[in-house]
Amino acid sequence: MKKIIIIAGCISTFLGACSKSLNIDPEGTMTREQLQEIVKTKPATVLEPMVTSMVSQVNGFVPQNSVDSRNFLISNLLLNLKGNDMVLAHVNGGWLSNDYQMQNYREENATRTALYWGMFYKWIFYANQVLDLIPADFDPSQATETNKLIMKYKASALTMRAFCYTYLLWLYQDDYFHGGKDKAGVPLYTTVAGEEDRAPAQEVWNQVITDATEAVALFKSSGLSNTASRTDFDASVASVVLARAALTTGNWPVAISAAEYVMAAYPTLMNETQYTTSGLSNISLPETIFGYDFSTASGKGTSSFPGWMNILGEGGYGGSQGSWVAIDQRLYDQISATDYRKGNFVADEFIEHQYASSVLPEKHYRYYSYKFAAPAIDANTPSYNQDDIYMRSSEMILTKAEAEARGGLDGDAQNTLYILAHERDPNYVRSISTGDALLAEIRLQRRIELWGESGFEFFDNKRWNIGVDRRGSANHTNLLVVPAGKLFTLQLPLATELNYNPLITEQNPL
């Protein structure tokens, strides 16, 4: 029988606690079938530590061990720098400069190309290890307590797999509606075994939708639709993944339905104080769907997202060390004066801030970002150690509005957009725009609301077929012009994939 190698870090708990009573091989070489038999009666013994380890990967370090690309949120920051709306306003050394200048970021030998590939395929491997241990005769229609646990674990693994393949398709192929759906996607693995050629993009998207849809259904059937913890996968996390994939592939009803589910689960938006003083670095904020809780895990150090983006942080690269980002003046000028989101950026010619490590106050100039400026958790914790937010409900409001507008439901889209825009700006009046004008309003709200978060501008620009054009900006330090198209699609990495997988014969064009 075929042996299965279990993730060493997560199975150690299982082996250490249960090896005597269950006669587990301490070398971790039990067969898949033997482990599946245990899962049938004691699923938590095997799958709980595996799923915990899988989900924790999002919080951990990625294969590229560099301070400017060491974790998931920072890898997304690098994407936001390849756009119009974020300015690398002040640098300390060469950190982030190549990303902002869009140099050495997509070629097959580029470290950035290997970064995303290695990260997401590693997480897919973790997910498939869990899924490989789900018994073949598992019947989710039988809602026993044991089966409910298996449902939860399977749903978590399906969510992770769909999440990762969404990012891989966003990065390694053109946008779905701009040629990507008919091209080669990425290798599609639904088990830990073997090597694969690139599957058609449409096939991979179909798998994403299937996985995410099944995950939502399993979470609901398990009775664990929405957990109290914001660090776990649940039906809302799976629904975000489903809504993103549906929006990308033009399945407007599914995008609307999935977004509505999340909006119902998270009906409360952040108020002005929360939005402008938290640095979006507290998972207890009412919009947080999924994140990282610093209080329950080790810190990520100065290379954390707050380390790079908390401008007030002592010791952080984006704090006292001087790598500061700003909002593009052109976008800033489009934010209403009564919109409290505008307060997250410096309005005066400059303001001064005294870092403990600086002899004199430092000047933060107009447009510098304070969006992620967060106070230290306590006097003994460096300010670069904060919570991370990976998903929040505002994204789903904007997703629903866009799907409604693209689906011809202009009135519904106007109402949905009003929910968010009026909360952020009390003077906002319900839009009367339709068609392309309404879509332009929705896109503007996405740019404002999600600025600096999760690589949204990069992915949205691909989806809207918008290139980079920084000409005419008052504060961009690099007036780059990059037309929409292939230059926003990464090549497959040579050293870590093509050299080891002879089945892949097609590379993305340079």
Per the domain annotation, does 301 fall within a domain? Answer: no
Structure tokens at 497: 């994939």
Rounded Cα distance, 306 and 298, in Å: 14
Structure tokens at 424: 């952020």
Tokens 């530590």 -> residue: 49
% of the chain surpassing 70 pLDDT:
93
* Mean local confidence (pLDDT), 251-270: 99
pLDDT at 11: 42
Rounded Cα distance, 237 and 226, in Å: 9
Q: How many residues does the chain have?
A: 510
Helix, coil or strand: residue 18: helix
**Residue 5 pLDDT > 60, yes or no?**
no
Closest alpha carbon to 393 in 426, 416, 371, 377: 416
**Residue 6 pLDDT > 50, yes or no?**
no
Per the domain annotation, does 464 fall within a domain? Answer: yes
pLDDT at 28: 64
* Mean local confidence (pLDDT), 471-496: 98
Return all residues near 384 (Cβ < 8 A) that are at least 6 apart. 299, 300, 301, 302, 304, 306, 307, 310, 313, 315, 316, 319
Closest alpha carbon to 2 in 24, 37, 29: 29
Evaluate whether 339 touches 109 at the Cβ level (below 8 Å).
no
Q: Quote the domain boundaries for residue 39.
A: 8-66+79-272+392-498
* Mean local confidence (pLDDT), 154-179: 99
pLDDT at 225: 86
Mind listing the pLDDT tens digit for each residue in 38-94? 999 999 999 999 999 999 999 887 766 677 778 899 999 999 999 999 999 999 888
| CATH code for position 48 | 1.25.40.390
Rounded Cα distance, 151 and 290, in Å: 19
3-state secondary structure 375-417: CCCCCCCCCCCCCEEEEEHHHHHHHHHHHHHHCCCHHHHHHHH
**Backbone dihedral region for residue 179 (phi beyond 0: left; psi -120 to 50: alpha; all else: beta):** left
Per the domain annotation, does 376 fall within a domain? Answer: no
Evaluate whether 119 touches 63 at the Cβ level (below 8 Å).
yes
Tokens 């996607």 -> residue: 185
pLDDT at 297: 57
Per the domain annotation, does 17 fall within a domain? Answer: yes
Rounded Cα distance, 172 and 509, in Å: 11
Return all residues near 361 (Cβ < 8 A) that are at least 6 apart. 352, 353, 354
Per the domain annotation, does 227 fall within a domain? Answer: yes
Structure tokens at 50: 């595996």
Tokens 């380390």 -> residue: 307
Amino acid at 186: V
pLDDT at 296: 56
Structure tokens at 361: 């106050």
Least confident of 121-135, 318-332, 379-393: 379-393
pLDDT at 219: 97
Return all residues near 24 (Cβ < 8 A) that are at least 6 apart. 14, 15, 18, 30
Supply φ then ψ for residue 351, to 5 degrees.
Answer: -130, 155
* Mean local confidence (pLDDT), 400-418: 99
% of the chain surpassing 90 pLDDT:
84
Per the domain annotation, does 297 fall within a domain? Answer: no
Evaluate whether 491 touches 107 at the Cβ level (below 8 Å).
yes
pLDDT at 198: 98
Q: DSSP of 262-325, one letter per residue?
A: HHHH--PPP-HHHHHHSTT--TTSTTEEEEE-GGGS---GGGSHHHHH-TT-SS-TTTTT--EE
Mind listing the pLDDT tens digit for each residue in 348-366? 999 999 999 999 999 999 9
Evaluate whether 86 touches 462 at the Cβ level (below 8 Å).
no
**Residue 3 pLDDT > 50, yes or no?**
no
Through-space distance between the first and last CA atoms of the chain, rounded to whole angstroms: 44
pLDDT at 301: 81
Supply φ then ψ for residue 133, to 5 degrees.
Answer: -100, 0
Rounded Cα distance, 284 and 62, in Å: 25
pLDDT at 67: 76
**Residue 12 pLDDT > 70, yes or no?**
no
Rounded Cα distance, 316 and 306, in Å: 8
Per the domain annotation, does 507 fall within a domain? Answer: no
pLDDT at 203: 99
The total number of structural domains in the chain stands at 1
Indicate the average pLDDT of the chain: 92
Closest alpha carbon to 313 in 366, 373, 379: 373
Least confident of 61-65, 126-130, 384-388, 411-415: 61-65
* Mean local confidence (pLDDT), 217-226: 92
pLDDT at 60: 84
- Who has greater pLDDT, 378 or 478? 478
Tokens 């319900």 -> residue: 430
Whole-number Cα distances in Å, 354 to 83, 147, 275, 313, 390: 31, 57, 23, 11, 30
Per the domain annotation, does 15 fall within a domain? Answer: yes
Question: pTM of the prediction?
Answer: 0.94
* Mean local confidence (pLDDT), 2-31: 44
Closest alpha carbon to 67 in 78, 56, 58: 78
**Predicted confidence band of residue 298 (pLDDT cuts 50, 70, 90):** low
Structure tokens at 109: 């030998």
